[in-house]
Structure 1
Amino acid sequence: MAASESEFVPILLALPSLTPSLALEVLPHGLTLHRLFVQADGRTHDLLIGPEDPKDHLTQKYTNTIVGRYANRLPVTESTLSRSGITATFTPLANENPEVSLHGGPSGFDSKEWTPLLDPSESQLFSQAEVQTIMGTMPAGSAIVFRRISEDGEEGFPGKLLVEALVGLVQPSGPQVQQEVLNLGSVVLVYRAKLLDKAKVTPINLTQHWGFNLDASLRDEDERTSPESLSVKDHKLTIQADNTIELTSKGLSSGTLAPVKGTHHAHLEKETKKIGERWPESGYDEFYLFSSRDIIAPTRIPEKDLTPDKNFLQEILTTDQKDPVVELESDKSGLKITFDTNQSGVQFYSNNLTNPTKGARKKIHGGSGVSGAGDSYGVGSAAFLEFHEPLAAWQNPSTLGPSGDDTLLASGEIYNNYVRMDVWFKPPKHLKEE
């Protein structure tokens, strides 16, 4: 089916009456986060890499889109699914190579049109109390719910699946300035899903495949000339993880954990360094399993428990982050983003497979904005941070993380996945001196 024009018309979400400001452009095509604007130092920054023209997301795949039904890589083999006394067999469809299904298969969620709900009360997967929280916490024009139905058998996945996603912005709940650091607000993503068929079970593992560069919008002309000049190697990255999941040569889970201590994967807070200081030859593309921690929202909700007065959003939207699982910051721009989630880990990918002669680079990032002009994004130009559960978790129980989620969903359950990103700004020294 050909894409419609309306799929590529950006929907602008913005926080009112805030200086500095935070705004987000969302496309119904692939539930794509097209731009994330921050005004913090007399400049406008766009924190997300990507094409200038929204329609170029058709060819610049997996750039800030949702991916699913299953994020990351699954082996193209038949497996047995079993949950809540329900069993099924499942064989994912190959797309990366004959042995690997990547991000849901040849035509995954990233390529589909999502329907925006004009009124959040039209939602079927958020309770009345949660809708009231959305409307009371996220100002008018700062949040929206999207919906799509994935039919039984789509890309080989069993069961007819209803999916809804809340995308919104939240104003700072506490002091806006903390130790000279300015809290600019938060981006919140909440994914819900349920099977519409009885006695079905399906794999599900959703994430936003978003790529960040906190320096890309700086105005220095000598740094806006070539794809190679745009890099996140000077960014600092903290990941609260003790292990990665060992991968096969095809990028599939081996079912074995590998300690990060003493390796280039040790992005622990006490060892925080610039990403480029331990840059591996092939770049980063690894799944980090978070250390044990308390999780404030379940990843599965019994459908009978989502009563009108039940509220799983309140704490997510109104509680300040106490111990973020991931932090990405730049001393150069003064920008920092921190993350909390109920997912068990994060895939960190450094845009290794990009080709700067193909695709397009946003004008605000120094590109021409023209696809194929040769000035797109180079290797290491972004930190993709994709929060989800371990790869093929139901096949590899030894890799389950803090949530204990095996990435299977049975009839009678509601999938519940959230990510909250807080945005911060600390004026760099050269700006203070000015």
Structure 2
Amino acid sequence: MSVVTLSSKSHNLNLKVIEKGLHVFSISFKDKSGKEHEIIIGPEKPEDAVKDRRFLHSLVGRYCNRLPHADLTLPGGTVFKPESFGSPETSLHGGPAAGGWDQKTLQRLSPQEVTLFSKSEIETLKTQYGEEAAGVWAYESPDGEGGHVGKVRAEVAIAVRDAADEGAVGEVILVYRAKLLSGEETALNLTQHWAFNLEASENARNGPGPMTDVKQHLYQLNSTQCLELAAGTALPTGHLVDAAKWRSGACNFKNTKKVGDPYPENGLDDFSVFDRRMTPKESKVVVDGSVDQVGNAFTGDATTGKLGEKVATLSSEKTGLSLEFQTNQSGVQYWSGHGGYDKSDSRRRVHGGKGEAGVGDGYDEPPALAMEFHEIYGAWMHPELKNIGWNTVLKKDQVYNNWVKMTIKSA
């Protein structure tokens, strides 16, 4: 099992990534008072994190979230049928394991092998981060994989660094790039399905202890609208709805509130659209021409202005920790972990568990809040969404560009 550790220059912020599916296995650091924290839930051993498809902390592709399992026509007339997974009516997170990118082992590239990042970006990663703090991984998806058309090359950069802002522990930056190597167009929508609990490490301060769920975590989104989802399939209906009216207000996080206030019977699994993303042309998610037209995400060129505003915050009053997110994506799917890790699973020793499965001291549901930043899925099929400018279609001679920056703070 190949696991790579990335460390900031101070060596305080450390991220471990499993090269199979680029699973983010660990994000650890000391807060301002010197307490150690691990904010990623999961098993003790890396091999246990990738043995089944729960999608917690992995790269998801070629198409994240859900598409209908049916003959679909792209804007240029290309017809394809994504393979079913999750339910007979849907293709979830890239389809069956044979096609899902969470099951593929990505190859780490040398600077000379990188093709989807500009010379400026490569130089920045080399001089300002270094091999210890950043890496670029690649995967080439063949034509027909998961029922999708065209051959696609993807490159993913993961980088960590210290942060100068007061109270900041550091930053984690993920950048996803892709290009169509054959064919005229393909559906493409990538995300990292990571999940966080900012209080889990408190359980081990005085030895093994009880687990706490995420219902008391505070959550805020710069969003007043949710994507309306069909009952049963969770596929988009093609309409946006007032967040205050969707799910009885459980998804109305415009003003900071607790994750569990109120808490739906089956947990959260919803998509909120960021207010500033009603003008998608500014996002540079899909760029005509070469990678030089994208901007340098590692120096701030692509993370300033409207696109650089904070769009989501997850925090804990108990620990004083908070995560602030910036992204060029249109919104975020948030899922509270039902059906994820539970009492029967292994809970890490750093979280107060025994590190063994089947002993009954696993994670309490909901164990974490997953935050999947991506574009509105299947938008090209719905006039209301397509007319705004969303489509999640990559064409020949375009570059797909998706970045997320997480700033970790300690009050």
- Code of the residue aligned with 1:255 in structure 2: it is G
1:214 corresponds to which of 194, 198, 203: 198
Q: Deviations over 1:333-366 (max 9, x none)?
A: 1110000101000001000223624432222112
Distance 2:139 2:122 in 1: 18
Q: 1:166 to 1:60 in 2, by over 3 A?
A: same
Deviates more, 1:65-74 or 1:9-18: 9-18
- The letter of the residue matching 2:123 is Q
Counterpart mapping for 1:319-398 below 5 A: 323-354=309-340, 356-398=342-384
SS of the residue corresponding to residue 87 of structure 1 reads: coil
- 1:241 aligns with 223
Q: Secondary structure at the match of 2:77?
A: strand
Structure 1 residue ranges (4+ consecutive) displaced by more than 6 angstroms after TM superposition = none
Aligned to 1:420: 405
Stretch deviating more after TM superposition (374-383 or 290-299)? 290-299
Shift of 1:260: 0.9
Indicate the residue corresponding to 2:153 in structure 1: 162
Match of 2:106 in 1: 114
Change (3 A) 1:224 1:100: farther
Cα deviations across residues 149-175 of structure 1 (Å, max 9, x unaligned)?
101101111011100000001332xx4
CA, structure 1 residues 399+362, in 2 after alignment: closer, same or farther (shift >3 Å)?
farther
Select the residue among 284, 296, 299 that pairs with 2:285: 299
User: SS at the partner of 2:276?
Assistant: coil
The answer (yes or no) to whether the contact 2:134–2:158 under 8 Å persists in 1 is yes
Work out whether residues 347 and 356 of structure 2, in 8 Å CA contact, stay in contact via their aligned partners in 1: yes
1:252 equivalenced with 2:235 (yes/no): yes
What whole-Å deviation, never above 9, does each CA across 1:25-71 have from its counterpart, x for those lacking one?
Answer: 01101011000011113222111111211111222520100011111
| Cα displacement (A) at 1:421 | 0.4
Matched, 1:232 2:214: yes
Partner Cα separation in structure 1 for residue 308 and residue 294 of structure 2: 24
Letter in 1 for 2:101: F
Give 1:129 shift.
Answer: 1.4
1:96 to 86, 90, 97: 86
Kept in 1: contact 2:341–2:367 (CA 8 A): no
The one of 45, 66, 70 equivalent to 2:63 is 70
Task: Report the equivalent of 1:281.
Answer: 265
TM, length-normalised to structure 1: 0.86
Under a length normalisation based on structure 2, what TM-score does the superposition of the two structures give?
0.91
Report the CA distance between 1:111 and its aligned residue: 0.7
Q: Number of residue pairs matched?
A: 399
Give the counterpart letter for 2:94 in structure 1: G
Equivalent residue runs for 1:11-26 within 5 Å = 11-17=4-10, 21-26=12-17
What is residue 261 of structure 1 aligned with on the other side? 244
2:235 maps to amino acid: L
Q: What is the aligned partner in structure 2 of residue 430 from structure 1?
A: none
Q: Match of 1:429? A: none
Whether contact under 8 Å (2:7, 2:161) holds in the other structure is no
Cα gap change, 1:225/1:125 in structure 2, threshold over 3 Å: closer, same or farther? same
Q: Which runs of 5+ in 2 are unaligned?
A: none
Alignment gaps of 5+ in structure 1: 1-7, 427-434
Aligned-partner Cα distance in 1 for 2:387–2:336: 23
